[in-house]
Amino acid sequence: MYRDGVGEGQINQVIEHELDQIQKAIADLNMYEANKIPLSFVIVTKRISTRIMTDSDNPMPGSVVDDVITSPERYDFFLVSQSVNQGTVSPTYYNVIHDTVPQFNPDRLQRITYKMCHLYYNWSGTVRVPAPCQYAHKLAFLCGQNLHRAPSTQLENLLHFL
């Protein structure tokens, strides 16, 4: 699960509230225990001031930095998913706050994250964030532009049904 739009000061709140609620929702399915469902929860941050260079040139798309400039207390990494024609490329910062998927070692999670940046259907190249984040941005924008009323109460009934 990729979560975008989280500030540095909100990480603990996301861990304590959102992650906990997701695990409770999984447990409420009555089919599984929450700790038996593998889940990776990754916070995506685009607006960072970090720039990465390789011998006075931009790094290649797919470049990952997960040592030295990352936090030793966290499971985090920087990923360059795009190439730029002018200026210095801005990497995207990924902070893995929960990971119980046994098949996902750091290298595999980084590769999947990079490949997810290729899956946005409106663009032939790569996008800066994984496709689910880009879709969420697009949906939020379209809702904000076109829905000018409160959500239907039937949606709440649907959520209780699920």
Please state the length of the chain: 162
Tens digits of per-residue pLDDT, 119-137? 999 888 889 999 999 999 9
> Is the pLDDT at 162 greater than 80, yes or no?
no
Between CA 22 and CA 39 the distance in angstroms is 10
Percent of the chain past pLDDT 70, that is, above it, reads: 93
Domain boundaries, the chain: 2-117
Classified by CATH at the fold level, domain 2-117 comes out as Nucleotidyltransferase; domain 5 (3.30.420)
Contact between 77 and 42 (Cβ < 8 Å):
no
Tokens, residue 54: 């390789």
> Is the pLDDT at 34 greater than 60, yes or no?
no
| Average pLDDT score over residue span 135-144 | 89
Residue 98: phi, psi to the nearest 5?
A: -155, 130
> Residue written as tokens 């880009």?
134
| Average pLDDT score over residue span 124-151 | 88
Query: How sure is the predictor about 159, in pLDDT bands with cuts at 50, 70 and 90?
Result: low
